[in-house]
Amino acid sequence: MPEDVTKEIAATSEPPGGRRTRMRLVSEEFFFLLQRIDRLDEKLSGEIKAQGERIDRLDEKLSGEIKSLDEKIKSLDDKLSNKLNSLGFWAIGIIITLIVGFAGVIVTLAIR
């Protein structure tokens, strides 16, 4: 038999002309298992793709929530900074008032 015919028989596991010969290199069980593996691979690939899509949707949702919380934190930080600045100016005003008051007392005592 020619070599290309032998290769075709081995690849398809079908004898030429419909006759059974001893040239069979691979059993039908092998092809059954190969098909089963292929179906399981397709099923697993589909599941992985579905999980990837779920993860992407969850990532988008969490990113939105994180962005929202970040904006709220920034707003609270701005409010707190404004209050602390006001408190700082108020404290500086009190200190200046005390210094001027003590200076006035010292000047008044020095004049007498």
pLDDT digits (tens, 9 = 90+) for 50-93: 999 999 999 999 999 999 999 999 999 999 998 888 888 899 99
The model's pTM: 0.46
- Cα separations (Å) of 100 from 1, 28, 73, 94, 97? 118, 105, 40, 10, 5
User: How many Cα neighbours within 13 Å face the side chain of 69?
Assistant: 6
| Mean pLDDT value of segment 35-50 | 94
Average pLDDT score over the chain: 85
| Model pLDDT, residue 18 | 52
